[in-house]
Each structure stands twice: as C-alpha cells, then as structure tokens.
Amino acid sequence: MLELDGVGFGYSPREWTFRGVSFKVHAGTATAVLGPNGSGKTTLVRCAAGLLSPVEGAVRRDGDAGYVPQAHGTAFAYPALEMVLMGRARQVRFFRSPGPADRAAALEAMDRIGIAELQDRLFPTLSGGEQQLVLLARAIAAGCPVLVLDEPATGLDLKNQARILTLLRELCSDGMTVLLSTHHPDHALYLADRVVLMGGSGPTTGTADEMLTDGELSALYGVPVSTVLYDDGDTQQRTIVVHYGGR
Ligand SMILES: Nc1ncnc2c1ncn2[C@@H]1O[C@H](COP(=O)(O)OP(=O)(O)OP(=O)(O)O)[C@@H](O)[C@H]1O
C-alpha cells in the first residue's frame, strides 16, 4: 500500500509545483500519473518514493519503495549485472559483498525482463532503452513491496513497451503496489485502476474509467483525443487516438 495525504511540494519557498495531492494505491493495483511536460509528474513520484520530502502532507508506505528513474547516464562503467546487484543493497549487510543469493535474485530479475544476455555489458555502452530495462531489473531485484516508476516506457520500442506492461501487470497480480508516471494514456488504460491527472487547475484523481475520457484527455493535453475499443484476445481494451489534423 502507498498513500499520499494532502501532499504539496515546491522547489522554492514561494512557488508550489503542486498542492493537495491525496490518493491511495492498494497492494495488487497500479496507479498512473499523467500530465503535460513540466506538470510535476517526476516530482510527485519522487515524493511518493521517498526521494523528495513533501513540504506539506504525508506519504505512507507498507515498506521501502523500489524506484525506477528515467534512464540516465552514469559516470561509472559498471557491468549491467553489477548495476542490478546494487538493488540488493538493503539485503547485503554492512562490510559484506553480495552473496550467491543476491546474484541469483539479480539474474532472475534480468531473466524475467528478458535481458540476461546483457549482464556483462558495461552500463554506459547500452542503448537508452536497454539502460531503462536494467534499471527496472534493479528495482525488481530489490524485492520491495512498492514499485515507483518514472516514465518507464520512455525510449522503449513497441515490443519492449508491451513486455514492461505485461510484467507490471504480473507484478500487480503478485500483490505489488505500483505507481508510475507516463506520457502514454493507453498504457494507463491497460494497466491502471486509478489515475492522477496533473496540470490544468491542479491535480485530480479518480478511477481510470471515469478520468480517461475523450473530454478529460483532450483538456489535459490541449489536443483532440478520442478513446476507441479494440479486441485484445478474449477481452476488449480501450486505447487512444490523437487527432493530429489533416494535411
Ligand atoms: N531540481 C529542480 N529545481 C527547480 N525546479 C525544478 C527542479 N526539477 C523540476 N523542476 C521544475 O518543476 C516543474 C515540474 O517538473 P517535473 O520534472 O516534475 O515535471 P514532469 O511532469 O515530470 O515533466 P516531463 O513530462 O517533462 O518529464 C517544472 O516546472 C520543472 O522545471
């Protein structure tokens, strides 16, 4: 479980990035944070993960949160497996090196995401999408009950986006609490029970079904958006169509 209660944050004393954010993510469910560039999604998920302290309000979690940042360059040329092993830091006692169980957990996480073959590659030599997958494996290897992800699909090709969405659904089925920010309303429609919409007149929360409507999405992004149904195996799934304008 992850709960935000009246959370407000500002990078400077006189300016709020957002105020009054309240929502609860139950174990076994996912909540998606959506909004335009600069609306405060990264700031909000960093508050939720405990990486930023709210100026007001409270964040409550069942336990530690695994955090997946947007892929970023690092000065340290560690092999990918060592990057994933860093996720095990909580399990490794002071002055000890990671043991066989930690290596097994790291490899299992890489295998689950389908990137075991990258284990010996130096992290900075990986593509942006491959780095993103390694950072996800690191958070999964940590074994935390709460997973917070900042735009996890950014830089991923369509197959890897599908792989991550399927994996996140599986993790929810395993009982994990998932909060993610995303620029993909279709990913929120696929994955999330509830959404937080940033921007406009301030953050609003509700179920994905009631919030992700043509009207709300068009207003949120300032461009006409329609939701449409498609057959996805045995189920019908909603996705979005953006009206770019005819030529
Ligand atoms: N370290 C910082 N110091 C000062 N202002 C910051 C800092 N980080 C972000 N901001 C500002 O806070 C606001 C929210 O930024 P944030 O990165 O949370 O938005 P976002 O919705 O994640 O954006 P994007 O979709 O572009 O990634 C922006 O106006 C940004 O310029």
Is there a single domain that holds both residue 121 and residue 170? no
Residue 224, in any domain of the structure: no
Ligand 1: which atom is nearest the Cα of residue 46? 18
Residue type, 62: D
Residue 157, in any domain of the structure: yes
Is there a single domain that holds both residue 168 and residue 192? yes
The 3-state DSSP class for residue 182 equals coil
Is there a single domain that holds both residue 121 and residue 155? no
Which residue owns the Cα nearest ligand 1 atom 25? 37
Is there a single domain that holds both residue 133 and residue 81? yes
Give the pLDDT confidence score for residue 243 in this predicted structure.
Answer: 94
Is there a single domain that holds both residue 190 and residue 205? yes
Place of tokens 């409270």: 58
Is there a single domain that holds both residue 59 and residue 157? yes
Residue 20, in any domain of the structure: yes
Residue 151, in any domain of the structure: yes
Does the ipTM exceed 0.85?
A: yes
Is there a single domain that holds both residue 150 and residue 46? yes
Give the pLDDT confidence score for residue 90 in this predicted structure.
Answer: 67
- Which of 143, 172, 197 terminates a domain? The answer is 143
Q: Are 40 and 10 in contact (CB under 8 A)?
A: no
DSSP-derived pairing of the beta strands 204-207 and 194-197: antiparallel
Is there a single domain that holds both residue 152 and residue 210? yes
Give the integer Cα–Cα distance in Å for 113 and 131: 12
Residue type, 189: L
Residue 123, in any domain of the structure: yes
How much helix, strand and coil, in percent to the nearest 5, is found in the chain?
35, 30, 35
Which residue owns the Cα nearest ligand 1 atom 3? 11
Q: Which domain holds residue 210?
A: 1-63+145-216
Is there a single domain that holds both residue 84 and residue 199? no
Residue 211, in any domain of the structure: yes
Taking each helix axis as running N to C, give the angle between helix 128-141 and helix 100-113, from 0 to 180 degrees, rounded to the nearest 10: 130
Which residue owns the Cα nearest ligand 1 atom 11? 38
Is there a single domain that holds both residue 124 and residue 181? no
* pLDDT tens digits along 189-239: 999 999 999 987 789 999 999 999 999 999 999 999 999 999 988 899 999
| CATH code of 178's domain | 3.40.50.300
Phi, psi at 133, each rounded to 5° = -70, -35
* pLDDT tens digits along 164-190: 999 999 999 999 999 999 999 999 999
Which residue owns the Cα nearest ligand 1 atom 23? 38
Q: Which of 9, 16, 17, 150 to mutate to test the pocket of ligand 1 (most atoms within 8 A of CB)?
A: 17
What's the burial of 120, exposed, middle or buried (CB within 10 Å: 0-12/13-18/19+)? exposed
Residue 31, in any domain of the structure: yes
Query: How many domains is the chain partitioned into structurally?
Result: 2
Place of tokens 């336990």: 63
Is there a single domain that holds both residue 7 and residue 117? no
* pLDDT tens digits along 77-106: 899 999 999 988 766 555 566 778 889 999
Ligand 1: which atom is nearest the Cα of residue 183? 25
**Ligand 1 site residues, Cβ closer than 6 angstroms:** 11, 17, 35, 37-43
**C-alpha closest to that of 93 among 82, 101, 104, 84:** 101
**C-alpha closest to that of 191 among 229, 159, 161, 217:** 161
Q: Measured between alpha carbons, how far is residue 69 from residues 136, 177, 232 in Å?
A: 9, 17, 30
Give the integer Cα–Cα distance in Å for 89 and 235: 41
Give the integer Cα–Cα distance in Å for 175 and 210: 24
Is there a single domain that holds both residue 165 and residue 132? no
Give the integer Cα–Cα distance in Å for 161 and 139: 17
Residue 201, in any domain of the structure: yes
